[in-house]
Amino acid sequence: MCNIETEQKKKVLSCIQPSGMLTLGNYLGALKNWVNMQDEFDCTFAVADLHAITVRQEPAALRSQIYSTYALLLALGIDPEKNTVFIQSHVPFHTQLSWLLSCNTQFGEMSRMTQFKDKSAKHPENVNVGLFSYPVLMAADILLYKPDFVPVGADQKQHLEIARDIAVRFNNKYGDVFTIPEPYIPKTGARVMSLQDPSRKMSKSDDNVNSWVAILDSKDDIIRKFKRAVTDSEACVRFCEEQAGISNLITIYSAVTGKTVAEVEREFEGRGYGEFKLAVGEAVADTLAPIKASYEEIIKDKKALEQLYKEGADKACRQAYKTYNKAMKKVGFVL
């Protein structure tokens, strides 16, 4: 007889870098889906702090971003009891497996990674080896936990592909060690564009602070940023390719209210941009307010936070250790 309780849930893994203030784009495009996946899947989520130092970070800022990113995951409603939620650098097997994988990855295939090309062009003064081998560390993050699915945005698809290639090659050479993960494209998940240049995605590393909304922004800041958002010349609230600015605002409003695009267009028929921008700003601020309130409670209690991330690391270590040991044995190391 099929018993739902004893049926194995499929495994999901994803990570997020603590490289700045997390934005509305990170929330609607990625983190909201993490929250929604907790019931259906056995989830492992990590703060990818080791990846963050591939670009220069100021130590005090990095430390505070790691805390705040972990606290924010909890504030969003990710349950650390139900899931494994940890900080990447607390589990040494990531860097250790990364070495094994590096020695089974070709320079040529890594040279094709578009993120490396983009980021090295953006930071010509710091084209470090870590930036180059970043996808191998990401492959280790994934393969240690044998996930069935990895939810990633379009910009990370190439990295997931290389993780799959590395795993297939390793398994063929040494025997079955790794599960080959599939990308997970969530049913819902909005691509949020910059409020100042709707042809580019909203990004926390954009120097223009008016182009992005942080999850932890104040209500006043959120409303002000939406008031200033770039819109188009048609002056009507209609979703179409030619009106990228207003279409982006419709996408955002629809994502935070749960209304369809057609419903939003009907609601604002005959009303001006000003009124619509205010409504979007208020709806976003109302959605983010409880998250911000919960975050402020969580971040106040450093002891409790520390307890949670340590427990998360212990759980993660127990899983990662098994895969790492198996891989070491297969390669021929003496354990």
In the complex, the residues that contact ligand ATP under the rule CB under 6 A are 16-17, 19-20, 23, 25-26, 29-30, 152-153, 155, 191-192, 201-205
Report, in Å, the least distance between residue 287 CB and ligand ATP.
15
Which partner from the list ligand ATP, ligand LTN, none does 251 bind, CB cut-off 5 to 8 Å by kind? none
Contacting range for ligand LTN; rule: CB under 6 A; set: 12-20, 169-177, 221-229, 249-257: 12-20
Give bridge partners of residue 86 from the DSSP assignment: 46
Could you tell me how many helices (H) and strands (E) the chain has, helices first?
14, 5
Q: How far apart are CA 276 and CA 266, in angstroms?
A: 12
Which candidate, 224, 202, 214, places its Cα nearest to that of 292? 214
Q: How far apart are CA 207 and CA 202, in angstroms?
A: 11
* Annotated active-site residue in 10, 204, 219, 329: 204
* Annotated active-site residue in 32, 119, 225, 277: 119
Residue 204 appears among annotated catalytic residues: yes
Residue 157 appears among annotated catalytic residues: no
Six-digit token pair at 224?
């002000």
Q: Is 190 exposed, middle or buried (0-12, 13-18, 19+ CB in 10 A)?
A: middle
Residue 119 appears among annotated catalytic residues: yes
Residue 138 contacts ligand LTN per CB under 6 A: yes
C-beta of 12 vs 285, nearer to ligand LTN: 12
- What values do phi and psi take at 56, rounded to 5? -65, 135
Give how many residues touch ligand LTN by CB under 6 A.
13
* Annotated active-site residue in 11, 32, 201, 225: 201
Q: How far apart are CA 149 and CA 182, in angstroms?
A: 5
Catalytic positions are 119, 201, 204
- Residue numbers at the binding site for ligand LTN (CB under 6 A): 13-17, 48, 51, 138, 141-142, 150, 152, 156
